[in-house]
Amino acid sequence: MPAYGRIGGSVEQIEIVVGDITVQRVDAVVNAANEQLTGGGGVDGAIRRAAGPELDAATRALAPCPPGDAVITAGYRLPARYVIHAVGPVWRGGHEGEDELLASCYRRSFTLARERDLESVAFPAISTGAYGFPFERAARLALIEIKHERERDADPEWRPGVRRVVVVLHDHEHARIYRELLAEVMTEDPSGP
């Protein structure tokens, strides 16, 4: 008998908030990391400052991590129990597989969360800062992957899946774009034109 009351593919709540990802009360926050998993600015810098030096030691042991992939560590001094370090692609004009690599970051993050039976995950807008990915394009890709997770069939291991997804943005204009796209992407028919 499975020990879970829920079956996979069960994202029930998608929240778009403006604020600081480090203060989110979720099971895991996602970091916009780099391949070497060494400290940077933006989301990475904020997460490392808030989590404390133990996080640096933990990521050092797991490096490197290629673009499109992710690793998971404890959250140390963060309210979140875990940090998922997802390495987004650097934007090089859009013809070097950037879309697929970015989508893969979200898929890998969901897989890592599922493997630990996490119920809530907060994502930043991966790759849209220092890595230069056009914001709206990145937001659409992220929302499509969140939608896929919501619609995912129960997997053979009976993992319950992430129930609450929080997208944490740095400013109101980014949140407006995300909210507009949310309505669009969630109602899009995948078999449409």
- Go through 72-105 and write b for each residue having 16 or more CB atoms within 10 A of its CB, e for each that does not: bbebbebebebbbbbbbbbbeeeeeebbebbbbb
State how far Cα 130 lies from the chain centre.
Answer: 17
What are φ and ψ of residue 123, in 5° steps?
A: -110, 140
For residue 66, the minimal CB distance to ligand APR (Å) is 14
Using CA of residue 40, residue 41, residue 46, residue 50, what is the dihedral sign? positive
Q: Active site residue: 44, 56, 69, 99, which one?
A: 44
The residues of the shown chain that bind ligand APR, judged by CB under 6 A, are: 20-22, 32-34, 40-46, 88, 124-131, 168, 170
Task: State the Cα–Cα distance between residues 127 and 4, nearest whole angstrom.
Answer: 34
- CB nearer to ligand APR: give 112 or 125: 125
Q: Which is nearer to ligand APR, 172 or 193 (CB)?
A: 172
Q: Specify whether 44 is catalytic.
A: yes
Least distance to ligand APR from the beta carbon of 143, Å? 15
Smaller CB separation from ligand APR, 102 or 160: 102
Cis peptide before 64 (omega within 30 of 0): yes
Residue 106 CB, nearest approach to ligand APR (Å)? 12
Active site (catalytic) residues: 44
